[in-house]
């Protein structure tokens, strides 16, 4: 007989609930016309706006679904937010520590960028340029890029909507279910990323059908994506369980989306970077 966790939730029941949320998240993103009767997008902006709506609906449904399974009453609003890691106490620690820890794996990227700036500065100075003018121009360029990014809908997807919805569904909702289902903390850290990584299998069809990749190439690309989504998912799960804050994995997710994959290859130095994979 299967062991029952908190509130009579079994391990198989918790896994089934997490699977259902993962399937629903992907299904509503890729079949909004069928599920929500939404009109076909007429532009890239309308396409992303439609996806924003789908992710919001999926997140709300998952939160409600999770609260019903865990038998959290409507009167326990503070308890409900606490279960999902939505808290204000120790918020700065939950933001600063995870970002500082995550930045350690980008030391190579930081070093490469620093060397690039120093090389550009030296070339500028060798032509008789003013070093203050160089730094002023570099700062103005950085500010201009930041302002341009804020006004870009793609940046809103990468740095706000996608991280928030994915962390809410795949971490804040699934981890309490798995813990209450009777799984140990260590098993949850390993098991929870499985749902997150398997949800990326839809990319196989995109590469194989739309991008016209060969079967082997599509398998290798998706396999690589599954590998690092499992690693990141385990790390994000650890952050949420360790801190009790949804802000911790959310900050790490946003930071990784901004940085992309750690630097691995470039034409000059043999290193480069690649974008971080996401569902939305």
Total count of domains within the chain:
1
172, 21, 165: which is closest to 86 by C-alpha? 172
- How many other C-beta atoms are found inside a 10 Å radius of the C-beta of residue 32? 20
pLDDT interval class at 273 (50, 70, 90): very low
What is the distance between the alpha carbons of residues 187 and 185, in angstroms, rounded to a whole number?
6
Q: pLDDT category, 71, cuts 50, 70, 90?
A: confident
Average pLDDT, integer, range 234-259: 93
**For residue 45, is it within any domain?**
yes
CA distances in angstroms from 199 to 173, 194, 202, 244, listed in the order given: 15, 8, 7, 24
Establish if 4 belongs to a structural domain.
Answer: no
Q: Is the pLDDT of residue 275 over 60?
A: no
Taking the CB of residue 258, how many other CB atoms lie within 10 A of it? 14
Whether residue 14 has pLDDT greater than 90: yes
272 lies in some domain:
no
Q: pTM surpassing 0.75? A: yes
pLDDT of residue 70: 84
* Catalytic positions, written as ranges: 166, 200
CA–CA separation, 83 vs 76, rounded Å?
11
The residue range of the domain holding 196 is: 11-259
Q: Is residue 5 part of a domain?
A: no
Pairwise CA distance, residues 180 & 6, whole Å: 5
What are phi and psi for residue 4, nearest 5 degrees? -100, 135
* pLDDT tier for residue 125 given thresholds of 50, 70 and 90: confident
Residue 149 lies inside a defined structural domain of this protein? yes
Tell me, yes or no, whether 202 lies in a domain: yes
Q: Would you state the pLDDT for residue 16? A: 94
Q: How confident is the model at residue 30 (pLDDT cuts 50, 70, 90)?
A: confident
The verdict on residue 278 lying in a domain is: no
Residues of the chain with pLDDT > 90, as a percent, come to 35
Is 1 contained in some domain?
no
* Segment 140-166 mean pLDDT: 86
pLDDT at 40 over 60: yes
């Amino acid at each position: 007989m299967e062991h029952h966790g908190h509130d009579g939730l079994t391990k198989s029941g918790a896994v089934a609930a997490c699977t259902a949320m993962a399937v629903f998240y992907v299904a509503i993103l890729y079949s909004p016309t069928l599920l929500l009767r939404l009109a076909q997008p007429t532009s890239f902006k309308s396409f992303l706006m439609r996806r924003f709506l789908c992710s919001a609906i999926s997140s709300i449904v998952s939160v409600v679904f999770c609260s019903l399974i865990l038998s959290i009453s409507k009167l326990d609003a503070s308890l409900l937010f606490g279960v999902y890691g939505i808290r204000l106490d120790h918020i700065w620690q939950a933001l600063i520590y995870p970002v500082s820890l995550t930045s350690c794996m980008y030391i190579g990227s930081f070093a490469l960028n620093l060397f690039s700036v120093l090389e550009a500065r030296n070339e500028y100075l060798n032509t008789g340029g003013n070093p203050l003018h160089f730094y002023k121009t570099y700062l103005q360029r950085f500010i201009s890029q930041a302002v341009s990014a804020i006004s870009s809908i793609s940046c809103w997807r990468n740095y706000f909507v996608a991280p928030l919805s994915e962390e809410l569904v795949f971490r804040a909702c699934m981890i309490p279910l798995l813990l209450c289902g009777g799984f140990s903390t260590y098993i949850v850290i390993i098991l929870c990323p499985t749902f997150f990584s398997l949800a990326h299998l839809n990319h196989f069809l995109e590469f194989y059908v739309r991008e016209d990749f060969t079967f082997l190439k599509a398998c290798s690309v998706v396999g690589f994506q599954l590998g690092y989504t499992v690693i990141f998912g385990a790390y994000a799960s650890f952050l949420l369980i360790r801190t009790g804050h949804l802000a911790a994995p959310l900050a790490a997710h946003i930071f990784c989306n901004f940085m992309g994959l750690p630097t691995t290859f470039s034409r000059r130095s043999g290193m480069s970077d690649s974008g971080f994979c996401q569902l939305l």
